[in-house]
Structures are given as C-alpha cells and as structure tokens.
Amino acid sequence: MRWATKMKSGDYASAIKGVRYFRRKELAPVATVWEYQVTDEFDAASARSVFVELPDGLELCCFDLTERSEEAYVFIRRVRDRLMVRRGGHGWMSEPMEEPVERAVQLLLASPLVKSPDQRFESFRVTKEK
C-alpha cells in the first residue's frame, strides 16, 4: 500500500476526484483546518485516496452515523503507516483504535454530508495541529 509521505499540508485533498476545496480556517495558535465538499464524482476510490494520501500527523473529521443517540464525529488520524480512529461527541471521546483503510472509507462514505452534500457546509475537514 502506498502511504503519503511528501505533502505535509491539508490541502492535498483538493487534487482528488470529486473533492472540492471549500475553505481554510486558522485556529491560532492551535490548528489549521482545511474544509472540503464532495461532488457527484466522489466515489469509493476517491474516499480511499483521501486516506491513502492523508499526510502523517493530519486528522480527518466527519459526522459519524454509528452514534445515533447524539451528534457525533469520527476522527481519523494518520500515524506513519497506520490510521487511528476515534469517535467523539459533546463531552466524550473514545480511545484511538487502529483501523484498515477500508473501514475508514466506509465511515467517510456513511457520513451524511458525504452521502448528501449541501453546498452550505463542508463534507469533511482535515486538521493539522500546530
């Protein structure tokens, strides 16, 4: 499997089919956040590229539908050649667990703003802590 090693920036996803750059936020002095929207061209191969090309140390966040009782998110961070997944909501966060890229793809594709994009909101975001 090819893992990203060259690009260190969260803007890497704008080159992936079906991904459109939405906006960048500076949360000084904590983090930089790149927000993306998906288009009709976004598919499972695109989602796989999002994770295969995710730079080391960066984290993707999207809505998580597995926690139906409240608004929740899934956080997927690249740690060298592994993907570490956490889930969280208001006042809680799970412990990180290593997951294969196929599971990360499933989680992203299940996110409501990926399944049914809304041009007013980001479909997912990529964060780089400072």
Place of tokens 């960066």: 58
First to last CA, the chain: 28
Note whether residue 96 is domain-resident.
yes
| pLDDT tens by residue, the chain, 130 residues | 444 444 468 899 999 999 999 999 999 999 999 999 999 999 999 999 999 999 999 999 999 977 666 789 999 999 999 999 999 988 999 999 999 999 999 999 999 999 999 999 999 999 999 8
CA distances from 75 to 40, 41, 114 (A): 24, 24, 15
The structural domain count of the chain equals 1
Note whether residue 1 is domain-resident.
no
Can you give the residue range of the structural domain that contains 20?
Answer: 10-129
